[in-house]
Amino acid sequence: MADGFEPESRKLLGRLRDTMASEAAGQERLDHITHIIADSMGTEVCSIYLFRDEDTLELCATEGLKAEAVHETRMRIGEGLVGRVARTGTIVNTADAPSAKGFRYMPETGEEIYSSFLGIPIQRLGDKLGVLVVQSKQAREFSADEVYGLEVVAMVLAEMTELGKFVGEGEAMAARHQQQVEIHCTTAQEGVADGHVWLHEPRVVVTNPIAEDPHRELKRLKEAVDTLRVSVDEMLNSAATGGDTEHLQVLEAYRMFANSKGWMRRMEEDIGRGLSAEAAVEKEQSAARARMSQVTDPYLRERLHDLDDLSNRLLRILTGQGKETGAEMPHDPILIARNIGPAELLDYGNKLRGIVLEEGSVGSHAAIVARALAIPLVIHASQITTEALNGDHILIDGDTGTVHLRPDETVVGAFRDKMAMQAKAQERYASIRDLPATSKDGQTVSLHMNAGLLADLPSLLGSGAEGVGLFRTELQFLVQSKMPQRAELSAQYQRVLNAAQGRRVVFRTLDIGSDKVLPYMKTIDEPNPALGWRAIRVGLDKPGVLRMQLQALIRAANGGPLTVMFPFIAQLSEFTAARAEVDKAMERERRLGHPLPSKLEVGAMLETPSLAFASKKFFKDVHFLSVGGNDLKQFFFAADRENELVRRRYDTLNVSFLSFLEGIVERCADTDTALSFCGEDAGRPIEALCLAAIGFRSLSMRPASIGPVKSLIRRTDLSAVRKVIWDARHRGEQSARAAVMDYLRTQS
C-alpha cells in the first residue's frame, strides 16, 4: 500500500472534499468519513473521538466497532491508548494493542478482536479536538507513509471541525465558538470588566484545506515563501541600520526558518498528499505548537514561537487575510492576544476595557502599561486566541483571575451584581476622598499613588492621593524603538510635575533588566535575571543613561522641588556612587547656568533583605526609603513571583515577614529616616491595614486602591490591630491573617 499511497491519499482527500460539500447533517457526514477512511486504508475499523469537555473524549462515529457504542463510550484524557494520544498529542502505532502500555479494554465496542492500532491526534494550532483511530485484525505496525497520510487526513478533520461540519446532538458535537467557556488565569492587574472581544491579531481562517491541483498549490506556496523571504530580508536590513539588537536576533531566526529546507520539504510533501498550500502551512504550524507545549527549554520554546509567528505571516500572504479585516471595534473592547508589547498596547489609548493574554508575566511591559492605565489584565489564559472570536461577549474578573467567554445569563447577572456593588463602594469612597486616612485611635497614614504615564496623573486629584509615591520612568524608554533624547525626557518630566500641581512626585530612575529589557539594548542572557544585572547595577555600570536622566530631571524641576529614588540598592556603596552622580549632575547644571531644585531629596528603594542590615551611616545618608514590597517579598521567601507554583505560597502577613518589616520601621525611626511601603500589598486593604499597624505611615499604591484602603483605616483602631498581630506571633501562628480577619469581623 505504501508504494501507491500518494495518489490514494489525494483520492481519499477528494472524497472528503465531496463529503464537506454535501448537505448531509453532521452525524451522517462523520459516519460517512469513517467509512471512506477505513475503505481507503484497508482496515476493518476507523473511529473518530471528539472532546466533549477538556477532560473527556467521546466516541462520535465508527466503522467496524459496535454502532451502539457511539456517544456511549467515553474516556478521560490519558485513559487507554486513545486517551494517551489525546493527552500527549503524539501518535500511537502498535501491532499488538492489548499489550501496549495504557491499553484499556472497552467491552461495549467489540474491539477485542482487533490487534493493530494507529491513533492520530486531531488538533489545530495547539487546540486538541479529538483522536482519529484505525484498527485491523492483522497484527502489524502501520508504515511511515500510512501514518503520514493519516496525519494529513487528521489535519483536514480538524479544519472541518473548526468550520462546523460535524455539528450534531450532544456536547462533543456542539458548534464550536458558541459554547460558554470559563478560563482560570493569573491576575496581572486587578479589576473587573464586561465587554466584547477584540482580537489583536485576527485569526486566519482556512476554508479550502483540500486542493484539486497539487502543481498549482506548490506554485502558490513557492511564490508566498519567496515573498516572505523578501519581506524578512527587508525587515532585517531596516533593523540592522536602526541598531535594534534584540529585534535583529528575532529576524535572524525568522530568516533561518524562512530558508529552512526541512520546513519547505514537509509542506511540499503535505501538498503532494492532497492539502492546499494554506492547510500545509497550518499543519506544520500545528505540529510546532504541539512541540512547543512539550518543550521546557526557554530557548527552544522561543524558536518554536518564531516559527509559529512566521507561519502566521505566510498564511496571511497566501490567504490575503491581513490584520485589517474590516471588522469594527466594539464600543466596549476587551483585547485578546497571545502577547503584546507596550507600544502596541499604548496605541489603543484609553479605548480598552480589559486585556486577556495567552502568555505574558506579572512583571511584563504589558502588565506595567495596564497598571498605568488601570485596565484589568489577566495572563496565562490557555487557548483564548483560538477559542475567542471578534464580538464575543466576555467578562474579566481580575480579582479572582477568571475569564467568562460567551457567558450565560446566570453568570452575567452575578457578575453585574458584583460590578454594581463595587460601583456603590466607589461612591462611598468618593465621599471620603478629601478626608485624611486617620484611624480610630488617631494615627494618620499618608496615601500616595503609583504612576508611569502622563495619563495616570488625572487620577491624582480624583483618587484623593496626596502625591505620587512612585513614578516609573522606564515606560518612556520601553515604548520607543530607540533611546529617547534628554530634551524629550525633560519635557515629559516637566509635564508630570505640572500635572501634579505642586504635590510631591517621587521619580524612580530607570529600572530595567530582569523582565524589563529595552528593545534597543543588547540582551544579556542570564540564568536568573531577577537576581542579575538590573536597575541601579546597570545604571552604575553604564552611567551615560543615568547621567542623562538625572540632568533631564533637574531641568524639569526648573527651580522647584525634586525627589529622586534609586531602585534595587543592595548596599551602601551603591547608594554612595549613585548619589555622587546626582552631585555631578547638579554641578554640571550649575555651571551651565540652569536653575537648580529649590529642594532636593534623594532616596532608595529597599528591595533586598541586605539593605535592611546596612550600616547606620546609610540610614542617615539617605533622605527617605521606600520598601519595594514585590521584590523584597520574593527574595525574603526565595519564591519567584513569576512562578505560579510558588508565588502565592507565602503570605505577606506571615509573622516572620512582618517581624522583618518591623525591624526596618524601627531602624528608620532611630535615624529619623522617612519610610514608605510601595507595591501590590500596599493597595490591598487588609495588608495595608497591617502595614500601618506595624508602623508604616506612608503607603503608595494604584489609584483605585486608595479609597478602599482609606475606608478601612478610618474605621479601625491601629493599636488594636498591632496587638492582634503581636498575639498571633506569640501564639506561634505562621500568619497573622486569620487573627486579623477574626478581629475585623467583631468590629463590623
- Residue 353 has what pLDDT? 92
**260 within some domain:** yes
C-beta of residue 36 within 8 angstroms of C-beta of residue 49? no
**208 within some domain:** no
Residues 670 and 541 in one domain: yes
Residues 540 and 658 in one domain: yes
**38 within some domain:** yes
**301 within some domain:** yes
Residue 470, domain CATH = 3.20.20.60
Residue that is last in its domain, among 272, 294, 319: 319
Q: Which is higher by pLDDT, 520 or 628? A: 628
**426 within some domain:** no
Cell of 251: 529576524
From 64-68, 622-626, 642-646, 647-651, the region with the lowest mean pLDDT: 642-646
Dihedral angle over CA of 356, 358, 362, 366, nearest 10: -60
Residue 732: Cβ within 10 Å count: 7
Q: Is the pLDDT of residue 253 over 70?
A: no
Q: What percent of the chain has pLDDT over 70?
A: 89
Cell of 275: 492539502
Q: Is the pLDDT of residue 694 over 60?
A: yes
Structure confidence at residue 369 as a pLDDT band (50, 70, 90): confident
Angstrom distance (rounded) from CA 248 to CA 191: 37
Strands 192-199 and 186-189: unpaired
Q: Is the pLDDT of residue 427 over 60?
A: yes
- Residue 524 has what pLDDT? 65
Is 365 catalytic? The answer is: yes
From 87-96, 100-109, 331-340, the region with the lowest mean pLDDT: 100-109
* Ordered strands of the 92-94 beta sheet: 74-76, 56-63, 45-53, 127-136, 116-124, 92-94
C-beta of residue 377 within 8 angstroms of C-beta of residue 397? no
C-beta of residue 496 within 8 angstroms of C-beta of residue 454? yes
Residues 644 and 739 in one domain: yes
> Which DSSP string corresponds to 97-114?
GGGSTT----GGGTGGG-
From 182-186, 296-300, 380-384, the region with the lowest mean pLDDT: 296-300
- Over residues 189-241, the pLDDT tens digits come to 888 899 999 988 777 777 778 887 889 999 999 998 888 888 877 777 765 55
Residues 603 and 692 in one domain: yes
Structure confidence at residue 164 as a pLDDT band (50, 70, 90): confident
Q: Is the pLDDT of residue 327 over 80?
A: no
Main-chain dihedrals φ then ψ at residue 746, nearest 5 degrees: -75, -20
Residues 481 and 564 in one domain: yes
**54 within some domain:** yes
- Residue 4 has what pLDDT? 40
Q: Which is higher by pLDDT, 488 or 205? A: 488
Q: Is the pLDDT of residue 676 over 80?
A: yes
Closest CA to 323 of 201, 427, 223: 201
What is residue 536's DSSP assignment? H
Cell of 364: 511584563
- Residue 303 has what pLDDT? 65
Closest CA to 277 of 327, 227, 235, 232: 227
**43 within some domain:** yes
The label of the residue with cell 471541525 reads 161
Q: Is the pLDDT of residue 652 over 70?
A: yes
Average pLDDT over residues 591-603: 96
What is residue 647's DSSP assignment? T
- Residue 211 has what pLDDT? 81
Closest CA to 13 of 353, 191, 275, 333: 275
Judging by beta carbons within 10 Å of its beta carbon (0-12, 13-18, 19+), is residue 374 exposed, middle or buried?
middle
Q: Is the pLDDT of residue 487 over 70?
A: yes
Structure confidence at residue 715 as a pLDDT band (50, 70, 90): very high
C-beta of residue 575 within 8 angstroms of C-beta of residue 566? yes
Q: Is the pLDDT of residue 471 over 80?
A: yes
Query: What's the Cα-to-Cα distance from 691 to each of 42, 112, 709, 742, rounded to whole Å?
Result: 73, 67, 11, 17
Structure confidence at residue 428 as a pLDDT band (50, 70, 90): confident
Is 678 catalytic? The answer is: yes
Please pick, among 60, 185, 668, 678, the residue that the annotation labels catalytic.
678
Q: Which is higher by pLDDT, 717 or 423? A: 717
Residue 118, domain CATH = 3.30.450.40
Q: Is the pLDDT of residue 688 over 90?
A: yes
Residue 258, domain CATH = 1.10.274.10
Residue that is last in its domain, among 391, 421, 451: 421
Angstrom distance (rounded) from CA 599 to CA 244: 39
Residues 457 and 473 in one domain: yes
Residue that is last in its domain, among 271, 293, 319: 319
- How many residues are there in the chain? 748
Q: Is the pLDDT of residue 251 over 70?
A: no
- Residue 250 has what pLDDT? 63
> Which DSSP string corresponds to 716-742?
S-HHHHHHHHHHHHHTT-SBSHHHHHH
Average pLDDT over residues 352-367: 81
**How distant is the alpha carbon of residue 419 from its chain centre?**
24
Residues 355 and 262 in one domain: no
Q: Is the pLDDT of residue 124 over 90?
A: no
Structure confidence at residue 101 as a pLDDT band (50, 70, 90): confident
- Residue 323 has what pLDDT? 58
Closest CA to 13 of 293, 316, 217, 306: 217
What is residue 275's DSSP assignment? B
Cell of 741: 480577619
| Enclosing domain of residue 375 | 181-202+325-421
Please pick, among 247, 365, 380, 448, the residue that the annotation labels catalytic.
365
Q: Is the pLDDT of residue 515 over 60?
A: no
- Residue 497 has what pLDDT? 93
The label of the residue with cell 486566519 reads 204
**207 within some domain:** no
Residues 657 and 521 in one domain: yes
DSSP-assigned beta bridge partners for residue 132: 48, 120
Residues 529 and 649 in one domain: yes
- Residue 535 has what pLDDT? 86
- Residue 517 has what pLDDT? 61
- Residue 304 has what pLDDT? 65
Query: What's the Cα-to-Cα distance from 306 to each of 56, 237, 288, 310, 431, rounded to whole Å?
Result: 32, 18, 10, 6, 52
Angstrom distance (rounded) from CA 201 to CA 204: 9
Residues 158 and 244 in one domain: no
Taken in order 458, 462, 467, 472, the sign of the CA dihedral is negative
- Residue 228 has what pLDDT? 84
Angstrom distance (rounded) from CA 325 to CA 669: 61
Angstrom distance (rounded) from CA 89 to CA 78: 10
- Residue 605 has what pLDDT? 96
Specify the number of domains making up the chain. 4
Strands 393-397 and 377-379: unpaired
- Residue 241 has what pLDDT? 58
What is residue 651's DSSP assignment? -
What is residue 224's DSSP assignment? H
- Residue 338 has what pLDDT? 84
Angstrom distance (rounded) from CA 277 to CA 282: 9
Mean pLDDT over each residue of the chain, to the nearest integer: 85
Residue 344, domain CATH = 3.50.30.10
- Residue 741 has what pLDDT? 95
Rg (CA), the chain: 30
- Residue 261 has what pLDDT? 83
Residues 361 and 475 in one domain: no
Main-chain dihedrals φ then ψ at residue 529, nearest 5 degrees: -60, -35
From 365-379, 598-612, 694-708, the region with the lowest mean pLDDT: 365-379
Structure confidence at residue 2 as a pLDDT band (50, 70, 90): very low
From 29-38, 116-125, 200-209, the region with the lowest mean pLDDT: 200-209
Average pLDDT over residues 323-344: 79
Residues 163 and 276 in one domain: no
Structure confidence at residue 5 as a pLDDT band (50, 70, 90): very low
C-beta of residue 621 within 8 angstroms of C-beta of residue 671? no
